[in-house]
């Protein structure tokens, strides 16, 4: 699995680290998008969804990751 462009092996899928996709959905649970290998540069917005700024997505991703790492 790729998480933020890095191939990551996950021992416990129920406790997987956050992804860029998780950050997008945390910002807007109704977001319509596709993302390849969790790479923000390969993000496509669907159904005329108003894009969320990449900087906002990465800020949320970093918050989720910090909480995951602390926890």
Reported as type and span, the H/E element at residue 35 is strand 33-35
**Is pLDDT of 71 > 90?**
no
Query: Whole-model pTM?
Result: 0.84
Structure tokens given for 35: 């993302």
Q: If pLDDT is split at 50, 70 and 90, which confidence band does 11 have? A: confident
Distance CA 71, CA 63 (A): 12
The residues spanned by each domain of the chain are: 2-8+16-70
pLDDT value of residue 30: 95
Chain segment 22-66, per-residue pLDDT in tens: 999 999 999 999 999 999 999 999 999 999 999 999 999 999 999
């Amino acid at each position: 699995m790729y998480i933020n462009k890095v191939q990551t092996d996950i021992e416990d899928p129920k406790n997987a680290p956050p992804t860029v996709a998780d950050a997008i959905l945390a910002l807007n649970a109704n977001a319509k998008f596709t993302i390849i290998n969790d790479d923000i540069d390969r993000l496509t917005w669907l159904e005329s969804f108003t894009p969320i700024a990449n900087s906002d997505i990465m800020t949320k991703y970093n918050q989720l990751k910090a909480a995951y790492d602390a926890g």
